[in-house]
Amino acid sequence: MASSRPERVGDQIRVEITGMLTREVHDPGIGFLTVTRVEVSADLQHAKVYYTTLGDEKARRESAKALDRAAPFLRRQLAGRIRLRRAPELHFFFDESVERHDRIERILRDLEQERASRPPEPEAAIAPSDAPAARADSPTEHDPVDRD
């Protein structure tokens, strides 16, 4: 749960921008876009909006351009929807953490499939000959100790 004011404002901005992008911004360059998080500066003057999008590198570049074109409109709309003296400037950044998370998930899944496809390794039982041998120069509990 958001506790500080910048976090609460960031959550509110995320909700508002998401709604505006789905209902009010009709730029075909935006495509399938998800706003993942918004970080607002302590003075509430700047907001970093992190997003992900489906598609390849070209689609990512097109989405970035479309968001830059839509930023003034989104800021004006935010000014009327959130209760701040001044609407923060919006800066859009592609969120690579989601991509890294997906990559890690794929690697873990591949490792699990590889592990499942291997034949099981026989468990090695410890044979008496594998047990560590007692040193000849140290007494054991069965050897009498000369105390002369």
- Cα gap 75→79, rounded to integer Å: 6
* Distance set, CA 8 to CA 18, 69, 80, 87 (Å): 16, 26, 17, 14
- Cα gap 48→90, rounded to integer Å: 6
Q: What is the DSSP string of the chain?
A: ---SHHHHHHHHHHHHHHHHHHHT---TTT-SEEEEEEEE-TTSSEEEEEEEESS-HHHHHHHHHHHHHHHHHHHHHHHHHS--SSPPEEEEEE-HHHHHHHHHHHHHHHHHHHHHHSPPPPPPP--GGGSPPPPTTS--TTS-----
**Total-model pTM:** 0.66
Specify the residue for token string 């054991």. Answer: 140
Radius of gyration over every alpha carbon of the chain, rounded to an integer in angstroms: 31
Question: Which tens digits make up the pLDDT trace of 107-131?
Answer: 888 888 888 888 777 776 555 555 5
Per the document, the length of the chain is 148
Domains and CATH numbers, the chain: 5-99 (3.30.300.20)
The pLDDT assigned to 31 comes to 76
Q: How much is the mean pLDDT over the chain?
A: 83
The pLDDT assigned to 114 comes to 86
